[in-house]
Amino acid sequence: MTMQSRSLKKHLRIEALARRDALDEFWRVEIALEMAETARDHLAVEPGQIVSGFWPMRSEVDVRPLMFALREQGARLCLPAILDKTTIVFRELVRGAPMVEMGFGTVGPHEEAEVLDPTVMLVPLAAFDARGHRIGYGAGYYDRAIAKLIDKGQAPRLIGIAFDCQEVALVPDEDHDVVIAEILTESGLRRFAPKL
């Protein structure tokens, strides 16, 4: 990544997150519930299909209602667990099982929980563009986790989760970019053409 590209991504991330932080917290709760209804109607999953969500931090979309809507359809849920500074795995989220601090203000299932390979991933993001390119938080956890699944011959369905205000004009392209084929916002589910 060039310094210019890195600098632009950092700038776009800061601006998008500032817009997200400025959203009314009560409105965000209502939107999380509406997005769960959208998911129920438009994100069909097969019984037993493994869906990774995430425990919301700061002003992120609270995907817990959405995850529970998918659980009602029969999905097995999992959450990311940070193993070290470069690696996350996805541990099964089971009712009543212990949760532990994961850092960054988030929690995840205890280390005794089963590690799963998701076939559907709800992906947090800082910013996105109209092509489905995303800017994460800069640590690269999801990029590496997705690449690892692809290396294993699995191509999970990727669904970015964001608010409309996080859209930017253009995310700088990089060769290793994973295009998010679908992004769910308060405006609904948007689908993007695959990268050619």
Q: Is 60 annotated as a binding residue?
A: yes
Q: Model pTM?
A: 0.92
Number of residues written out for the chain: 196
Q: Is 9 annotated as a binding residue?
A: yes
Q: Is 10 annotated as a binding residue?
A: yes
Q: Is 176 annotated as a binding residue?
A: no
Per-residue model confidence (pLDDT) at position 108: 80
Q: Is 183 annotated as a binding residue?
A: no
Per-residue model confidence (pLDDT) at position 102: 76
Q: Is 28 annotated as a binding residue?
A: no
Segment 25-37, tens digit of pLDDT: 999 999 999 999 9
Per-residue model confidence (pLDDT) at position 195: 55
CA dihedral angle for residue 21, residue 107, residue 84, residue 139, rounded to 10 degrees: -20
CATH level 2 (architecture), domain 3-191: 3-Layer(aba) Sandwich (3.40)
Domains in the chain: boundaries? 3-191
State the distance between the two ends of the chain, measured CA to CA, in whole angstroms.
20
Q: Is 140 annotated as a binding residue?
A: yes
Q: Is 96 annotated as a binding residue?
A: no
Segment 169-193, tens digit of pLDDT: 999 887 766 789 899 999 999 998 7
Regions in the chain scoring below 50 on pLDDT: 196
- Cα separation, 84 vs 36, in Å, equals 31
- Cα separation, 195 vs 20, in Å, equals 27
Per-residue model confidence (pLDDT) at position 43: 86
